[in-house]
Amino acid sequence: MSTASKGLEGIVAAETVLSFIDGEKGILEYNGIAINDLAKHSSFEEVAFLMLNKRLPKKPEFEAFITDLRGSYGLSDHTLSLIKSMPTTAQPMHMLRTMVSALAMEDPEPNSIDIPEVRVKAVRILAKAPTIVAAFDRLRRGLDIVSPDPSLSFAANFLYMLNAERPTHTMERAFDACMILHADHGLNASTFTCRVITSTLSDIYSAITGAIGALRGPLHGGANEGVMHMLNEIDSPEEAEQFVMNKLAARDRIMGFGHRVYKSYDPRATYLKTLAEQLATDTGNADLYAKSSAIEKTMAREVASKGIYPNVDFYSATTYHSIGLKLDLFTPMFALSRISGWAGHALEQLDGNRLIRPSADYVGPHNTQYLPIEQR
């Protein structure tokens, strides 16, 4: 009889200090720090340092990190020409996956697995990924590319490059919080992919490229797009309850609810919910937030007792829409943040590396006779 665990559920495959999850109690910590404390008081740049160094920075270290990160925002002429050669109909996640891989060709030592060098490469990938996404999006809209502004934060600079104007404080803060909340989340599918690739002593570009491919799936990073599709199906907040009840009666999934890990309220959704409400109000999307709230109230009444609560995708969809992002940019936003976590796990894997090579239970036949093709 097979002893395989479907989806590797319950299997411990790595040790990490980057994030801790208690799904029953709704706890998420980065290196021991509660996620809500980071979302309220920190910045994504500081969290990125935490991911890459396993600790918060001291002031001089943080200033140096900011200088390195923001100084790497820009793209080479070669990279820009590659982006311009992409079909404007290409899906952004496919484009991003391809361009991160292409960055390796500009690195004179792309295959280095020296930990300090990999850390430097990771900062460059993290810095350039938003510029890549913003440049592609503007080109496909028939607009001129906006060069990055190294005086702006990671969050503000991306929104500036996307919209050709500096974001409001609320927009910057909400987007920065989204980046913090998505930075790492245990040994999820994309992080596991990253660690597997790294364990072969492949390069950081390959590891992050593979992780982007895993994240693209609708059962992973693509879920927030599904939330927005659902919200667009509902004409008004008043119709939300009946929509949910019809879905539940048909045993259809309500996007943005439930999680493989959490059996209580996703701690990432707690703070994001407040920001989403404020941002929706400020940007004229109060009706969208009202629909979200009505869905949550109905779900709380009907299924919360079964451990089904909103996850981070539910309110990130409202947040991204209110910022003005096109629907197919939602998952790339996840990737922009998670690059920091993936890189942190790659560094962690390299430190005392062992090739990840699980076994599989063979459940097929034995002693099968080979037949010539004429006899089959």
CATH class of 14-217+335-350: mainly alpha
The CATH number corresponding to 223-323 among 3.40.190.10, 1.10.230.10, 3.40.50.620, 2.60.40.1180 equals 1.10.230.10
**Which position among 94, 107, 220, 282 bears the catalytic label?**
220
* pLDDT of 74: 98
Question: pLDDT band for position 130 (50/70/90)?
Answer: very high
* pLDDT of 20: 95
Q: How far apart are CA 91 and CA 69, in angstroms?
A: 26
* pLDDT of 1: 57
Q: What average pLDDT does the segment 104-119 reach?
A: 97
* pTM across the whole model: 0.92
- Tell me: pLDDT of 42 over 90: yes
**Strand (E) or helix (H) holding 212:** helix 204-215
**Strand (E) or helix (H) holding 14:** none
Q: What percent of the chain has pLDDT over 70?
A: 99
Q: What is the mean pLDDT of the chain?
A: 93
- Tell me: pLDDT of 39 over 90: yes
pLDDT by residue (tens digit) across 49-62?
999 999 999 999 99
Q: Is 143 left (phi over 0), alpha (psi -120 to 50) or beta?
A: beta
* pLDDT of 275: 87
Per-domain boundaries in the chain: 14-217+335-350, 223-323
* pLDDT of 9: 76
- Exposed e or buried b per residue across 220-250, where buried means at least 16 C-beta atoms within 10 angstroms of its C-beta: bbbbbbbbbebbeebeebeebbebbeebeee
Residue 142 φ/ψ, nearest 5 degrees: 75, 25
* pLDDT of 143: 98
**Which position among 259, 266, 321, 345 bears the catalytic label?**
259
Q: What percent of the chain has pLDDT over 90?
A: 79
Q: What average pLDDT does the segment 69-93 reach?
A: 97
Question: pLDDT band for position 175 (50/70/90)?
Answer: very high
* pLDDT of 226: 85
**259 tagged catalytic:** yes
* pLDDT of 2: 60
Nearest to 68 by CA among 54, 49, 53: 49
- Tell me: pLDDT of 3 over 80: no
- Tell me: pLDDT of 223 over 80: no
**94 tagged catalytic:** no
Under a CB-based contact definition with an 8 Å cutoff, are residues 312 and 258 in contact?
no
**Which position among 137, 176, 203, 313 bears the catalytic label?**
313
| Tokens describing residue 43 | 């910045």
* pLDDT of 117: 98
**114 tagged catalytic:** no
Q: Is 307 left (phi over 0), alpha (psi -120 to 50) or beta?
A: left
Check for a shared fold between 14-217+335-350 and 223-323: no
pLDDT by residue (tens digit) across 292-323?
999 999 999 999 888 888 888 888 889 999 99
